[in-house]
Amino acid sequence: MTAAPVPAVAEQPAAVLVPEPRPVVSPGPTAKAVMVVEDDASIREMLTRSLGQDYSVYEATDGHSALEMLARIKPPPDLLILDVMMPKMDGLQLASQLKADTRLRTVPIIFLTGRDSHRDVIQGINLGARHYVTKPFKIPDLLAKVAKALGAKK
């Protein structure tokens, strides 16, 4: 007599633990955190290098990936620098979603964009921007606005 075949037990996939995002650059564990959301790699790199001297810097290439990262960063960054014109989800859409999130609504925003009409500036401010910086910009000016938004005395 042969034994009846034992039905195969479907293996459950192991839970995938996605690690918490880490800053791209950081001067130390007590540094304030800034997230740069910019689709232009050269601008993103320049911002990361400049900000990384004083701040822990996270970076994302569009609003969608920024939202995914922000959901996992504990605590959230102290400041967000958002490009306005990006693929998938632009900076204005991202800011609107952030303001609807109780955990992220108080995080200050600086818009960094090539859009400079009066209407664009008003729209950015209405979405909660502390500053609206137009491209081209000077790094020292942006760093001063970052320090001001973070409450630093400079």
What is the structure's pLDDT at 13? Answer: 57
In the chain, at which residue ranges do the beta strands (DSSP E only) sit? 33-37, 56-60, 79-83, 109-113, 129-134
**Does 88 map to a domain?**
yes
What is the structure's pLDDT at 114? Answer: 86
Residues in the chain where the model's pLDDT stays below 70: 1-18, 152-154
Domain that holds residue 89: 33-149
**Does 10 map to a domain?**
no
What is the structure's pLDDT at 29? Answer: 87
What is the structure's pLDDT at 37? Answer: 97
CATH number at residue 45: 3.40.50.2300
**Does 108 map to a domain?**
yes
Overall domain count for the chain: 1
